[in-house]
Chain A
């Protein structure tokens, strides 16, 4: 390998062709005098085609290309959490230290801090037989997360020695009889899924605190969801809400080809936001990958793999991991750009023919699994999709919708009306409720699924009535249908709308969601009675206590007051009968 004399033959943007080496597919190579990092993506006669993860301007044919023998891998071990990386796991703060605020090239940086000392607490002991994925010990990685040090895949045997104590990630903490030495750091090639024992059906919801998501279109732990929407419709805000409030143990947030400022926002905000579950800063459970739109496209292509590999690694420890990728369309575009430089035969809209299989492979890495160690872990994947012109008939949206089980369809019209989250309740769907309903009955309320059905049914009826209203105006409808419209409006304005930027409204737990939904149905019930008793619809709808009930959701302690407010509303509604 070292005798090979590789040189650059051609450079076309991020794609470089080399001759004089015969590397393996997906092997990492060093390109040019500056040793830019690249990955072999095609072998073609005596030519190796390489995608380069850094800017190539100024590089010339004839410069050297050197093999590394490695495939593109990430470093896994204590120190991943609270970090922000670029698409190929270079820590951005390290890059700042070596090259200032602008990202220059030709700089290497380890994904993990190799010097840092961690206190390793052995849980296995000498004489134990261990195999791939078994847990050897723990490290308190952040205030809230205990890192499990595992036997790397492919290694097994009887423990000869293992010690608790202070180690850095490259020091041996455990030796096997057969001689294998295990360190806290392991490496894993990003394009290969990490192994597990078997996949389970998802049956626990990923609670997000977002009413429309949890109540109407829930995602299961280990499930997959797609959020397509035109620009400015709320993909990023939704993803960030999930990163903040979902009840996952670990969050991996991938900013894939999107804005720099959005990543800065997360970095600024998360250390100050409190995890409702642990009372500690959300940053403790978060890893971020930021390969923004103006950073090299090849590294953007790699970023989703880097992210999902980290997610799987924490899953293997038995954690529930939620991964957000914003936006998978930018990843697909990176594939398209590279593919067109390779002069591959294009498929639909210029995307490579393998687009949909790449999408499927990616989402397939989600799931709830029995880990090699015998525990239960999950990776939930939520991918944003940015369809051109907001039209989801395009290949990335369609490829995604064929795979994911939850579709949160963002709607430009709703966003324009400032109805947030702008998720269209008529065309969005989740295929999980049948497998989750038992959980809701056991953990929230026995009639939870029925209440959900009633709420969705009302929204459907409203849509039909609205068509008539468009033609004749609402006054032409019979009073019971007018009431239905009012109830549906209450669902939309009070329940579905949720302000991500409001301290209180930003999060509602499932119990509160259930109570709010019940309050709406109760309003319908009481109003029907009152109207039947002679009250005017106008009076019923305008009882002040209803406004209080609705505005109350912006006050803290709402969950304790809602019952009382509901009673007050019901009473005032009943009183409208007497007034007549």
Chain B
């Protein structure tokens, strides 16, 4: 099957090569292209029939001509996986990038990844403490969740992702996370920032990196996250690791997807992105979770930059429709000098309820979180009003809420890049302290029993 080399290219268009008169070629089959100067490229079959085969070339079609030889390798894309991948840096196609030896396969794993049977899933419910108050209190993360960071260019999403990677832990357990990091089209500088930080904290030994940089082939980006997730699945479900997958930047991935769609002259969906982008993204994001009878887990942190800071842009929009919440980074908070500039209002963790409360975090967590939200949301809204009518028009309640919005941003949100707050004292107790700036009678989201127990001035001895 792997023998025959065809020189029957008829058309080359964008990243696609069209050829005819082949043996029956499988849908999804992997292809090797040999250029006239001997260079090798790789590709994959996107469409196959008796008359024509369409191949997507990962490294781009530069220098391909009609003399280029094409070999069909008889199989779909597989990644050699092994626990030796931990501590390694691989390129966007899964080859060593760190000068080390090739990965000796323990298994060859299909990178498309089969869907987890919904019946076989286990609901995620273990709270992960990130040490970042905004996240822990208001958008709590649980093991097995997919929680993207919606950011925009120039914002410190990488710092936040790294801080999470560094600090994430299960309270009362010493299971460690293995980090699988997947770079798609980020700059060398950003990449160095990640690697440097992982090295500095010793986390690199516990990480596996798949790296496609800005000057690497764009089409390759379509497989890089699939490789990373294949490795993650292997580590989680064959070797019981708890895996934290960070991938950045999803926006570059989607651009590559759009490029392929355009080259195939497909009818585009919104803003030129393919109509199947939702499904395509779901095939990545849904590879998070826990399954029955397996100890390991996959938690995902995709990072995406919203073009034009627009949350309704198809990339964040379709992501938000698939992931289990989102952490939204705010330019406004960033400009105020607040780190981490997380806007908790549009942020959400859908799995929060399952992961917090008595025996998990603390009994008052839900109440406190609801109250923080409500007070901050109203405070922010009042800022708008004050801008028009001035503070004089506000009643006592509104004045307190207005002031609270500042307190929340400057004290609760703000913390340093290496400040690791515990959920109890560091975050929830602190929240109570700050909420005590508002009269109890206005704290309608707090159950009386928690007020009696936790309110710093109302505390009964």
Contacts and interface: CB of A to CB of B under 8 A. Distances in A.
B27 A56 contact: yes
B116 to A, nearest CB: 6
Of the listed residues B48, B118, B123, B350, the one surrounded by the most CB atoms of chain A closer than 10 A to its CB is B118
Contacts of B320: 230-232
A12 B264 CA distance: 12
Contacts of A103: 114-117
A551 B282 contact: no
Interface string A56-78: 11111111000000000000000
B393 A60 contact: no
A328 B377 CA distance: 32
Interface string A87-123: 0000011011000111110000000000000000000
Contacts of B444: 493, 547, 550
Interface residues of A, number: 74
Q: Is the interface of A mostly helix, strand, loop or mixed?
A: mixed
Interface string A126-165: 0000000000000000000000000000000000000000
Contacts of B326: 232
Contacts of A264: 118-119, 121-123
B28 interface: yes
Contacts of B237: 101
B395 A475 contact: yes
A391 to B, nearest CB: 7
B294 A261 contact: no
Contact of B293 (A17, A101, A389, A473): A101
Contact of B377 (A255, A350, A417): A417
B275 A261 contact: no
A276 interface: no
Given A232-B325, A263-B118, A473-B394, A388 B26 contact: no
A11 B48 contact: yes
A92 B117 contact: yes
A101 B294 contact: yes
Contacts of B448: 551
Contacts of B318: 388
B59 interface: no
Given A17-B49, A388-B270, A268 B117 contact: no
* Max chain A C-beta neighbours (<10 A), residue from B27, B283, B286, B314: B27
B275 A350 contact: yes
B385 A470 contact: yes
B379 to A, nearest CB: 12
A84 B120 CA distance: 11
B280 to A, nearest CB: 10
B345 A416 contact: yes
A411 interface: no
Interface in A378-426: 386, 388-391, 416-418
Contacts of A232: 320, 325-326, 348, 350
A528 interface: no
B337 interface: no
Nearest to A15: B47
B312 A389 contact: yes
Interface residues of B, number: 77
Contact of B47 (A12, A230, A290, A550): A12
Contacts of A58: 26-29, 75-76
Contacts of A333: 275-276, 278-279
Interface in B343-370: 345-346, 348, 350-351, 353, 370
Given A101-B292, A232-B348, A259-B322, A389 B317 contact: yes
Given A60-B24, A60-B27, A472-B393, A95 B321 contact: no
A388 to B, nearest CB: 5
A178 interface: no
Nearest to B369: A418
B64 interface: no
Nearest to A10: B49
A333 B281 CA distance: 14
Interface string A483-495: 0000000000100
A542 interface: yes
A390 B312 contact: yes
Contacts of B293: 101
Contacts of A275: none
A24 B225 CA distance: 41
Contact of A340 (B46, B267, B270, B324): B267
Contact of B48 (A61, A84, A261, A471): A61
Interface string A30-74: 000000000000000000000000011111111100000000000
A349 B289 CA distance: 33
12 contacts: A56-B27, A63-B24, A92-B119, A101-B120, A232-B320, A232-B348, A257-B278, A294-B115, A336-B275, A418-B370, A470-B385, A475-B393
Given A295-B115, A473-B385, 17 more contacts: A57-B28, A60-B25, A61-B50, A92-B117, A101-B237, A261-B289, A264-B123, A265-B123, A267-B118, A292-B286, A293-B279, A293-B286, A294-B283, A350-B269, A388-B314, A472-B393, A476-B393
Interface of B: 24-29, 46-50, 75-76, 112-124, 144, 237, 266-270, 275-276, 278-279, 282-283, 286-287, 289, 291-294, 312-314, 317-318, 320-322, 324-326, 345-346, 348, 350-351, 353, 370, 373-374, 377, 385, 388-389, 393-395, 441, 444, 447-448
A-B pairs with the 8 shortest C-beta distances? A473-B393, A57-B28, A10-B49, A389-B312, A293-B282, A92-B119, A102-B114, A101-B120
